[in-house]
Chain A
Amino acid sequence: QQQVKQSPQSLIVQKGGISIINCAYENTAFDYFPWYQQFPGKGPALLIAIRPDVSEKKEGRFTISFNKSAKQFSLHIMDSQPGDSATYFCAASSSLTGNQFYFGTGTSLTVIP
């Protein structure tokens, strides 16, 4: 059973546009929601993370929006650049289950010049 559902599977955005990736979860015990960026042949790198006590977190061009009641969270990449082309994974974790990460299925983002 997929604990975290991620969409879309792939995304093509023009340079300068906004990339939006969505994730949904069911387990209300999740209390940590990170986003990771992965380039081909490399390990994932932490981009930004949020706790459920805030509805939004922004770091540079990256913003997480969190909707606790809907059990959804999303990553917004503003002013998308070709260098942002990568695969993005959302994840969720709970302190009640040893902080194990449950990853989404990934979104392949392509930013075209």
Chain B
Amino acid sequence: DAGVTQSPTHLIKTRGQQVTLRCSPKSGHDTVSWYQQALGQGPQFIFQYYEEEERQRGNFPDRFSGHQFPNYSSELNVNALLLGDSALYLCASSLMRQGYQETQYFGPGTRLLVL
């Protein structure tokens, strides 16, 4: 089992550009969540996808958008990049089962630097 994989591992962009990050969930998982982790801070929830729809969203602007594909993989898109978007972007996968405290499995993250 490959676990959660993310690509690319590192990325450098300039202000105003757009970026797409990718995530493949752990085998058997159907839910993908994205988190942003600034240096020295805990991860902050961006949004969660299940059945190809955004189910929950954190306090992030519309510049952050996503997509989930039929094979459960997911993309995170950020438009009009700002310097403050520089962070580690983490993808977590899980299985959606009501009433269960399902574990979220995290990937290694994509380190984004905006210049």
Instruction: Say whether A and B bind each other.
Output: no
Residues of B whose CB lies within 8 Å of any CB of A are none
Residues of A whose CB lies within 8 Å of any CB of B are none
